[in-house]
Each structure stands twice: as C-alpha cells, then as structure tokens.
Amino acid sequence: MTTDADIDEGLRENGQTAEALFTATKNGYASGLVPVAGVGDEAYRFHGSLFVRKGDAFVSATTGLGDSADAITALETLTKTAFARL
C-alpha cells in the first residue's frame, strides 16, 4: 500500500501522488483491465492482480491463484481489509 504520506515530499511537490501512481499503473496496461465495483474509489483487475485506489492510497495485490472467482474474492477481501486499517 502506498499513501501520499509515504511519498517523498520532493516527489509530491512534483505531482507524484498515490492517485498518480495508480493512474500510471492503470495506463501501463494497453488492454485487458476489468473494472471492479465496490472496492475503493476505483479498482481494476488484470488476471491475478487487483489495483485499487481509495482516497490518497493505492494498493496493488496479486495472487498466484490466477483469475478464478476464489482468487478475485480473496483479493477484494484483502484490499478491503487493508483500507479498513488505514
């Protein structure tokens, strides 16, 4: 998990934020991202990975279970738990 507070002040002054990192990650995938509702402010999955932005925080979670329904549920639960602990 990366929050704005985790980013060096000099980088933040140059526009690097958790949201900018999320956007750069999202834009790094030419295609294949699947929007995920109900997890954070914005979320996408790509195969066995889930990328979530909520407020000033960004989480990237990956599982070795591929993109099965169980894997996606596990990733969603993991990221919801992480955000709840902020």
Asked if residue 53 has pLDDT above 90, the reply is yes
Q: Domain residues of the chain, as ranges?
A: 2-84
How many other C-beta atoms can be found within 10 angstroms of the C-beta atom of residue 77? 12
pLDDT at 35 over 90: yes
The pTM for the full model equals: 0.81
Region 7-34: mean pLDDT is 89
Phi, psi of 50 (to 5 degrees): -130, 130
For residue 42, is pLDDT > 90?
A: yes
Asked if the model's pLDDT at residue 30 lies above 80, the reply is: no
